Structure 1
Amino acid sequence: MSRVSQAEAKANRERVVAAASRLFRENGVAKVGIADVMKTIGLTQGGFYKQFASKAALVDEAAAKAFADNLQDLKALDQKAGKHQAAWQSLLESYLSVEHRDDPGHGCPAAGFAGDVAREPEHRETYAKGIQEVADWIAPGDAGLAAYATIVGGILLARATAGTPLSEKILQAAHEAVATAADSGRSATD
């Protein structure tokens, strides 16, 4: 057996975290085993424990990475749109869409990890930090939190009712409820 270089080990760790993040959001933490994650990227289960202390450590890191990537994408959206309100509108169009509803593995970490974090409190600090950062991106203070809670709730309910006429009505209603949320507390030059 050949030893893996530090660079390869780091790359493998990043692949494990990315795969776990996607699988956890898609299927739920309880339904995804370490073997599932490792098989997805073509590594053995034994290699996992050389990199992570436990599955719980992986869950925490996967959630933190998902939120960090999400926030980076939102900041890039601001740069591309030029004005925060335009970025917010763009986010709403993609977030409250049938495509996002039907692809939880690549979707919002707030929605993807919500049920698991509610049942596994050891991940709440990481989750709460991610929620607060995204809410702050949306709008300062309670306006950002309310808007984020509304769209996350909307996507969760839309996923739970997928295949019924109610699902798309939920997406539309959530969109209408928060369309101007990013204006709250921001200056006209943002």
Structure 2
Amino acid sequence: MPRVSREQTDKNRQLIEAASARLFKERGLNGVSVADIMASAGLTHGGFYGHFESKDELAAVACERAFSESDVRWRSLAREDADEQAFVGALAKHYLSAKQRDEPGSGCPAVGLAADVGREDTAKPVRGAYAQGIKAMLGRLLSFAGPRPSKKTRQRAIARLSILVGAVTLARAVRGDPLSDEILVAVRDYLHDGF
């Protein structure tokens, strides 16, 4: 049987990481099997352990990847000439949308993984990856505050992030009811008005 090239091995690993990041956000950490991930990546189940020691290791890597992808989206919203409130307004418009609510696989990992990560043992590697992802999101919100944000500025950033994540979580939970859209609009307007 011919050996797979290093380039193909790296490509396969990227396919596995991308598929797992999407599937974990869609179905949760325990709602996806290794076989599901490998099938979604277009690979055979047997090849998984050539890339990862365990599903726990993959969950941490997928979480890191999902937050990295999210950071790219957040950075694209921060125009060079934008101030903090303009960024928060653009972020609210993007984040508090029907697309974010209805497409968890392409949405924010802070929302898609929160409940499952919260149920994982503190020793699981995904816990640390998730915490780092949340800190990076906070860092993006604090990027307008300079190198040493005040305690009040940090608290406001934490509150904004919590409001964003909570609003999408609630909107997803009541999707199909008019309240879902009301939540998105109310929080988007609230953040846009200067909180």
**TM over 0.5: same fold?**
yes
State whether residues 23 and 37 of structure 1, in contact with CA within 8 Å, keep that contact through their aligned partners in structure 2: yes
Give the counterpart letter for 2:82 in structure 1: K
Residues 70-79 or 113-122, more deviating: 70-79
**Unmatched tracts of structure 1, length 5 or more:** 182-190
Runs of 4+ in 1 over 6 A off after TM superposition: none
Aligned amino acid, residue 38 of structure 1: M
* 2:175 aligned partner: 162
Aligned 8 A contact 1:137 1:144 in 2: no
- Tell me which residue corresponds to 2:163: 150
Higher mean C-alpha deviation, range 64-73 or range 100-109: 64-73
Q: What SS does structure 2 have at the residue aligned with 1:29?
A: coil
Post-superposition Cα deviations, 1:120-149, rounded to whole Å, max 9, x if no partner, equal: 132221111111111221235111111011
Q: What TM-score results when the alignment is normalised by the length of structure 1?
A: 0.89
Question: Where does residue 135 of structure 2 map in the other structure?
Answer: 132
- Find the aligned partners of 1:108 and 1:141 in 2 and give their Cα distance: 21
The aligned counterpart of 2:81 is 82
Contact 2:78 2:87 survives alignment (8 Å)? yes
Contact kept, 8 Å, 1:101 with 1:155, in 2: the verdict is yes
Matched, 1:16 2:16: yes
Give yes or no for contact 2:28–2:113 (8 Å, CA) kept in 1: yes
Distance 2:3 2:65 in 1: 27
How has the CA–CA distance of structure 1 residues 120 and 165 changed in structure 2, closer, same or farther, with 3 Å as cutoff? same
